[in-house]
Amino acid sequence: MNRKRILVVDHAEIVGGAELYVLELFERLNRERYSVCFVTSSIALQNLIKQKGFECELFTSGRLKTANPVALAYNVFSTFRKLKSILKIRQSDLIQTNTVRMHIIGALLAYILHKPLVWIIHSYDFNKFLFKILSPIPKTIIFVSQSVQQGYISVIPKNNKTFVLTNGFNFDLLKMVDRSFVPRTYSVNNTTKVIGMIGRIERQKGQEYFIRSIPLILNKYPDVLFLVVGDPNKNQMDYYEQLCNLVKKLGIENKVVFSGHINNIYDLIGGVDVLVAPSTGDESFGRILMEALALECPVVATRVKGYTDIIEDRISGLIVPIADSVAIANAVNEIFANPELAVKMVSHGRKKIQDNYDLRESTRKYEKILVGITG
């Protein structure tokens, strides 16, 4: 059998949920049927891809959001030329793009070179006019959640080329989770509670409101450690500094740890008593909430798209208003005060993940899509 060659293109600077989503799908794909090469701008993602046993090439991509038409034309042409060269050398049978910038360039490549294209849409920020113009080019458009698909329903109705394929959780990994990681790494004793917030450090993720909730939690439960997990993008360094200064201003330096990026995220979640997801803007999918519930960790999340796809208030977690530190603190305090509610929510939440977000089922659906395109 001749293996079909897939070129996966992603220009993200850091490893996020979108990148992990795609990588996990390919990890379980039939490698006798498909060979995969990733193209990325992120050295961290390249390292992770190679650890998983896939080929990967680094490239740089010029910005498309520029008011200078000459710079725009140059960036489009130079990125197109680089990817065309890689595509030719790799003799790829199919292109899959993972970010808006690459959806645009990928559509040009697919149209000119007559290659089948798959878009995986992770966000709501694809310009609707451009989406409508370019969407006839890909053979298949995959949305990572019902909420994301709904965001584009006005420009592309549901049809036989659009699919919703959510993240999935690999339940086989549960037996490998090291629940001693958090107490061992952060010198936490048996009586200390640990609250975690995991995500890129950027304004939309809402770290500020998590930090502002901390004194209100400590007033009732003084023996708590707070972990802020994740790295800032280059353009978010000012925000990161503001967060550090806020921690100092509130006098909680000895209670807060900025851990940076952590690879073994399941080990971390497995040692956390509550996970808080305080995003201030719509999310494509609540991946971190899915992981927390699978690991039986109680969650507090804001009422945004993506999160409410997974969390039912007081059934599988607690939902709080956006940008409300008092509500976050009250929710965390309620979980600590009412362990029966916490047990009920994680039990219901885990069952929901098992029934609806199993990675094996997601991979099976994805492979069926590929078969429909490549034969």
* Together in a domain, 96 and 235: no
Going by their DSSP bridges, the two strands 4-10 and 94-97 should be labelled as parallel
CA 24, CA 291: separation in Å to the nearest integer? Answer: 14
> What backbone torsions phi and psi does residue 343 show, to the nearest 5 degrees?
-65, -45
Query: What single DSSP character describes residue 286?
Result: -
Assess whether 180 and 118 both reside in one domain.
Answer: no
- If asked whether residues 351 and 363 sit together in one domain, one would say no
Q: Please tell me whether residues 270 and 290 are part of one structural domain.
A: yes
Alpha helices in the chain (DSSP H): 17-27, 43-51, 69-90, 100-113, 128-134, 146-151, 181-186, 207-220, 237-250, 265-270, 287-294, 325-337, 339-356, 359-374
Q: Are 342 and 335 in contact (CB under 8 A)?
A: yes
Same domain, 147 and 191: no
Is 158 found in the same domain as 18?
A: yes
pLDDT digits (tens, 9 = 90+) for 246-283: 999 999 999 999 999 888 899 999 999 999 999 999 99
Domain total in the chain? 2
Cα separations in angstroms, 145 against 12, 206, 302, 303, 304: 20, 21, 17, 16, 13
DSSP code for 294: H
Q: Do 143 and 51 fall into the same domain?
A: yes
Q: Are residues 152 and 245 in the same domain?
A: no
What would the mean pLDDT of 192-203 be, rounded to a whole number?
96
Q: Identify the three-state secondary structure at position 2.
A: coil
Q: CA torsion, points 206, 208, 211, 213, in degrees to nearest 10?
A: -80
pLDDT at 82: 92
Same domain, 157 and 118: yes
pLDDT at residue 374, as a whole number = 87
CATH of the domain at 53: 3.40.50.2000
Rounded CA-CA distance 260/200 in Å is 9
**Contact of 38 with 56, CB cutoff 8 Å:** yes
Q: Do the bridges between strand 94-97 and strand 55-58 make them parallel or antiparallel, or are there none, so unpaired? A: unpaired
Q: What is the model's pLDDT at position 322?
A: 98
The pLDDT score that the predictor gives to residue 16 is: 82
DSSP string, 67-95: S-HHHHHHHHHHHHHHHHHHHHHHT-SEE
Question: Which of the four pLDDT bands, split at 50, 70 and 90, describes residue 375?
Answer: confident
Residue 153, Cβ density class (10 Å: 0-12 exposed, 13-18 middle, ≥19 buried) = exposed
pLDDT tens, residue by residue, 59-73: 888 777 776 777 778
Question: Are 283 and 307 contacting, i.e. CB atoms less than 8 angstroms apart?
Answer: yes
At 125-154, the pLDDT tens digits run: 999 999 999 999 999 999 999 999 999 988
Enumerate the H helices of 114-145 as residue ranges: 128-134
Average pLDDT over residues 350-369: 94
Are both 321 and 362 inside the same structural domain? no
Q: For the whole prediction, is pTM greater than 0.75?
A: yes
Print the SS3 string covering 25-67: HHHCCCCCCEEEEEEECCHHHHHHHHHCCCEEEECCCCCCCCC
Pair 185, 322 in one domain: yes
Q: Which domain holds residue 75?
A: 4-168+358-374
* Chain position carrying tokens 């109705």: 157
Q: What percent of the chain has pLDDT over 90?
A: 79
3-state secondary structure of 126: coil
Would you say 136 and 159 are in contact if contact means Cβ atoms under 8 Å apart? Answer: no
Strands 299-302 vs 274-277: parallel, antiparallel or unpaired:
parallel
Surface-to-core class of residue 145, CB atoms within 10 Å of its CB (0-12 exposed, 13-18 middle, 19+ buried) = buried
Residues 211 and 314 in one domain: yes
